[in-house]
Chain A
Amino acid sequence: MSMLNEWQDYLPDFLDGLVVTLQLTGVSLLLGLPLGLALALAMTARRRAVRWPAILLVEVGRGAPALVVLYFVYYGLPQLSLTWSSFACAAIALAFTTSAYTADIFRAGINSIPVGHREACQALGLSHGKELRLVVLPQAIRVVVPPLVGFCILLYQGTSLAFAVSVPELLSRAYSQASITYQFTATLTLAGLVYGAISLAAVALMRARWPRRAPTVAGAALPPERPDRTNPSWETTSERRER
């Protein structure tokens, strides 16, 4: 009972923290998704000079811990004489991580389009850009949305890393309350409940919407499946174009 009373006291502050958490999630997506799509397109480009930098960025973004990326931005920007808020640093870092993960999701979506459709486009004389815009992306979007939603849930949880650079998000609020009251169990449990409730609700919604395809949170935690390198329809067609 006593824990419930304490929770009542914490709740307003925690809800403020939750707002920051959600803002951080939103801004990271807003910046990260377009960049992810751009990287996916670059990764599948004809020119090697475009493809390789993109592949490198994505491999680094997925290979390095998000926390290390966060510190890189947080401690690195001042070196470039940029003094940005910790929120901005966290948003940039998470956006970069987002772009790397979603680039692979987008690429898998693009590669899921049968080669035949792209050949049909070529046979009809559609330009490369129109082929993408009119035929490839509208189809890819269907494949891409469920794993993207899974990634959003993961990103929402991942914003808790911003604690490490003192962004006043949910976990930071819980921790600072705890360091005043020494009620670590009560504060951290409440924080866990808030994170968990929203994640579980989102997972439940996702499962209801895509009963078979929905990746579980584990599925989302799995780095998205590596596109089959032996049979990427895009590569086949672009290689063909190269010749």
Chain B
Amino acid sequence: MSTILSELAAGIPQTIGITLASFVVAAVLGLPLAVLRRSELWLVRLPAVVVVEVLRAVPPIVWLFLIYYSLGSTDQVRLTTLQAAVIGLGLIYAAHLSEAYRAGLDAVPVGQWEATRALALPRAQTYARVILPQALVVVVPPMATFAIALLKDSAIASVIGATDITFHAVQLTQQDLNGLGNFTVAGLLYIALGVPFALVARAADRVLSRRLVGV
């Protein structure tokens, strides 16, 4: 058990790296997608809708293959497995997170928007000072759920050769044929890695709601 663990531990940095980097990409790209999708002009809304729907309609593993073998293997562009995984998972989860953001923005009561309009608050101020702080409280728990889902989906990167936990488990199994043991440890490792996400999220949630009450 502990020997398996020490073998698989070699993959932990890649697993965490892919997860965190993809999550940052997703968190940043998801916001403009969400704001665009709430636009009143359908010409603005439509492209955002198409991007989100298409990103989610195709299996993640197919996206990674497309990015790694097709877009990332030209003469001009050479992507590493890590880069391909981060781009692919980052984009897919940007689509997922944009939905969570949108739900958060929608959760802010209409009266708040009206009040900012009545105060003639500039758009940036409206978002930064009034809307986002309130939306954030709603958004943090689903974001945590997505982070854990992303952690699990990061295992797919092993299929294009990223040397993460799953990759090492496969390698080890091909040597020692102990699939039951190796993948049990791998599975438990993923479950354990997900725990901090859940705890951080819960703590963040508590801090945020307290701050909001304190305003």
A–B direct touch in complex (beta carbons closer than 8 A): yes
| Known A161-B156, A171-B62, A192-B66; contact A216-B99, beta-carbon cutoff 8 A | yes
For the complex, what is the distance from the CA of A64 to the CA of B96, rounded to whole Å?
20
Is there contact, CB below 8 Å, between A160 and B153? no
For the complex, what is the distance from the CA of A63 to the CA of B193, rounded to whole Å?
10
Is there contact, CB below 8 Å, between B59 and A157? yes
Interface of B: prevailing SS: helix
Choose from B60, B69, B154, B183 the contact partner of A71 (Cβ within 8 Å): B183
For the complex, what is the distance from the CA of A203 to the CA of B155, rounded to whole Å?
26
Say yes or no for A2: interface residue by CB 8 A criterion.
no
A145-163 vs B, Cβ < 8 Å mask (1 yes, 0 no)? 0000000000001101101
B27-47 vs A, Cβ < 8 Å mask (1 yes, 0 no)? 000000000000000000000
For the complex, what is the distance from the CA of A218 to the CA of B146, rounded to whole Å?
10
Collect the chain B residues with CB atoms within 8 Å of residue A80's CB: 180
For the complex, what is the distance from the CA of A203 to the CA of B95, rounded to whole Å?
15
Say yes or no for A66: interface residue by CB 8 A criterion.
yes
Known pairs A64-B152, A71-B169; list 13 more (Cβ under 8 Å).
Answer: A65-B166, A65-B187, A68-B190, A72-B183, A76-B179, A163-B61, A184-B69, A195-B58, A196-B54, A216-B99, A218-B95, A219-B99, A221-B96
- Which B residues are within 8 Å of any A CB, using their own CB? 52-54, 56-63, 65-66, 69-70, 73, 95-96, 99-100, 142, 145-146, 148-149, 152-156, 158-159, 166, 169-170, 173, 177-180, 182-184, 186-188, 190-191, 194
- Which A residues are within 8 Å of any B CB, using their own CB? 59-60, 63-69, 71-72, 74-76, 78-80, 157-158, 160-161, 163-164, 171, 175, 178, 184-185, 188-189, 191-192, 195-196, 199-200, 203, 216-219, 221-223
